[in-house]
């Protein structure tokens, strides 16, 4: 079982839809969770960062973490064509010498159609 599983999609939605992107993980030591957005041929851009279970909201984006189920989600409200990108989840532990390391999902390709 891979440490982080993320559905690669592709996911195609109409403009204005609510988008749900998800990752599951197997390592219960993961405590820090991030979502990155990556446009084609560009570097990933940090969207959300959270370290506790529950919801964190930033504009149209909401990050949700359920540590008991080892499941994280990113919701995008009122999706726009400019949201079309690959979304990567990432997570890290807080244990000793390995607390530097981010483990990434493979990314979900999202297309928002006008």
Partner 1 sequence: DGGITQSPKYLFRKEGQNVTLSCEQNLNHDAMYWYRQDPGQGLRLIYYSQIVNDFQKGDIAEGYSVSREKKESFPLTVTSAQKNPTAFYLCASSPGAGPDTQYFGPGTRLTVL
Spell out the long-range contacts of 25-28 with Cβ–Cβ below 8 A and sequence spacing 24 or more: 25/70, 25/71, 25/72, 25/91, 25/103, 26/1, 26/2, 26/70, 27/3, 27/91, 27/93, 27/103, 28/67, 28/70
Q: Which of 56, 67, 70, 106 binds partner 1 (CB under 8 A)?
A: 106
Q: How far apart are CA 83 and CA 87, in angstroms?
A: 10
Examine residue 59 and tell whether it contacts partner 1 (CB under 8 A). Answer: no
Examine residue 101 and tell whether it contacts partner 1 (CB under 8 A). Answer: yes
Examine residue 92 and tell whether it contacts partner 1 (CB under 8 A). Answer: yes
Q: Which of 59, 68, 96, 100 binds partner 1 (CB under 8 A)?
A: 100
Examine residue 21 and tell whether it contacts partner 1 (CB under 8 A). Answer: no
Residues that bind partner 1 (CB under 8 A): 6, 8, 31-32, 34, 36, 41-46, 49, 51, 88, 92-94, 99-102, 104-107
């Amino acid at each position: 079982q891979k440490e982080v599983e993320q559905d690669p999609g592709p996911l195609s939605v109409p403009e204005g839809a609510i988008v749900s992107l998800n990752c599951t993980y197997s390592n219960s030591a993961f405590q820090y969770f991030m979502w990155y957005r990556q446009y084609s041929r560009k570097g990933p851009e940090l969207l959300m960062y959270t370290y506790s279970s529950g919801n964190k909201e930033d504009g149209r984006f909401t990050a949700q973490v359920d540590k008991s189920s080892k499941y994280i989600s990113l919701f995008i409200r009122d999706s726009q064509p400019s949201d079309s990108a690959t979304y990567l989840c990432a997570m890290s532990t807080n244990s000793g010498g390995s607390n530097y390391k981010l483990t990434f999902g493979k990314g979900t390709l999202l297309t928002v159609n006008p």
